[in-house]
């Protein structure tokens, strides 16, 4: 595993509460904790770190993206507006979430043509970070079964030409994915780690929503 802090003009804005070297060490430590519980993380995983990318989230002031089994990024507001403790908590949560994606992409490569692939992938990340990383993100909690089934149907139809995404689409994708994964876990007795290695279609079948 390789953690690289890329050069950026924004490092000058880094809060005095943490040094770059300490940040790198913290990321490496948490990533190794994830490896202890999640099999098949690539030993060649590269985690690139760069402040102020566009996917810093409003809730956490931290963000991340996984691109392939060997590549993911971490980004954040370097001023740490929520304080050091929350910053470290959300960096941890993001690492659990995104590293889960890198393992998933080993078994089912990223698809930009399937909305449900994305939904289920985010659901796996949400459930893994919650159950194994102890993440507590109230904004990712899903609603009742009736509401969630309605959103599932919207996502299932989203690949049709001319489909217009309704407001709140991204947030509901995380919630719908987590709902599907929790149902699949309950119905099958499999863990989220086992589901991470399974195709989207099989996970949806285990969720028993069609």
The string of pLDDT tens digits covering residues 23-77 is 999 999 999 999 999 989 999 999 999 999 999 999 999 999 999 999 999 999 9
Summarised one tens digit per residue, pLDDT across range 97-125 is 999 999 999 999 887 778 899 999 999 99
What value does the mean pLDDT of the chain take?
95
By C-alpha distance, which of 30, 1, 37, 40 is closest to 198? 40
Query: How many angstroms separate the CA atoms of 4 and 27, rounded?
Result: 10
- The full set of domain ranges for the chain reads 2-107, 115-207
CA 174 vs CA 74, 139, 144: distances in Å: 19, 9, 15
Question: Which pLDDT score, from 0 to 100, does residue 159 have?
Answer: 73
| pLDDT tens profile 87-98 | 999 999 999 999
Confidence (pLDDT) at 113: 72
Q: What's the average model confidence in pLDDT over 77-88?
A: 98
Number of other residues whose CB lies within 10 A of the CB of residue 57: 17
pTM here is 0.95
Look at residue 158 in the predicted model and tell me its pLDDT: 82
Fold entry, domain 2-107: Zincin-like (3.30.2010)
């Amino acid at each position: 595993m390789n953690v690289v802090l890329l050069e950026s003009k924004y490092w000058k804005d880094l809060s005095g509460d943490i040094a770059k070297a300490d940040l790198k060490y913290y990321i490496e430590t948490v990533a190794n904790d994830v490896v202890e519980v999640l099999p098949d993380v690539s030993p060649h995983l590269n985690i690139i770190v760069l402040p102020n990318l566009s996917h810093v989230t409003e809730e956490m002031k931290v963000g991340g993206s996984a691109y392939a089994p060997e590549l993911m990024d971490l980004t954040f507001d370097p001023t740490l507006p929520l304080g050091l403790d929350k910053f470290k908590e959300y960096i941890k949560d993001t690492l659990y979430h995104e590293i889960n994606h890198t393992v998933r992409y080993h078994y089912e490569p990223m698809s930009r043509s399937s909305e449900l692939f994305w939904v289920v992938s985010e659901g796996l990340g949400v459930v893994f970070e919650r159950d194994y990383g102890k993440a507590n993100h109230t904004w990712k909690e899903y609603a009742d079964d009736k509401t969630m089934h309605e959103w599932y149907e919207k996502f299932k139809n989203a690949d049709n030409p001319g489909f217009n995404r309704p407001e709140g689409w991204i947030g509901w994708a995380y919630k719908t994915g987590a709902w599907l994964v929790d149902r699949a876990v309950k119905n099958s007795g499999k863990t989220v780690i086992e589901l991470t290695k399974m195709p989207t279609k099989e996970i949806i079948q285990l969720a028993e929503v069609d």
